[in-house]
Amino acid sequence: MPAYLIGHITVKDPAGWAVYVEGVRKSLLPFEARILFRGRRDSVLAGEHPYDLAVVIEFPDRETLQKWYLSEDYQKLIPIRDRAADVAIISYDG
């Protein structure tokens, strides 16, 4: 069953964020993951949502998503991510 990662993002440092995004793109390649959506928030129709951007990434299954997140390549990107943006990352079963 596919698994999905959804990231909600507010960028604080665009240059740092660009480095992170490129690193993530490369880190996903061995895991057969696909970026399904990346976009900017248009409006909040109900409730509260403080983030400006969102990304949805599809993985073959939950185990692969976890392996990617814990991979050395991704773990090296976390300090860059945390300096460059406020981020909430959630995983979902498909």
For residues 52 and 1, what is the distance between their CA atoms, to the nearest angstrom?
29
Average pLDDT over residues 69-76: 98
What the chain holds in terms of domains, given with CATH numbers, is 3-93 (3.30.70.100)
Work out the mean pLDDT of the chain and round it to a whole number. 97
The count of C-alpha atoms lying within 13 angstroms of the C-alpha of 80, restricted to the half-sphere facing its C-beta, is: 16
pLDDT in tens, 18-64: 999 999 999 999 999 999 999 999 999 999 999 999 999 999 999 99
Q: How confident is the model at residue 94 (pLDDT cuts 50, 70, 90)?
A: confident
Mapping DSSP to helix (H, G, I), strand (E, B) and coil, where does residue 33 land? coil
pLDDT score at 39 = 97
CA distance from start to end of the chain:
6
Sheet holding 85-93, edge to edge: 34-40, 53-59, 3-11, 85-93
pLDDT score at 86 = 98
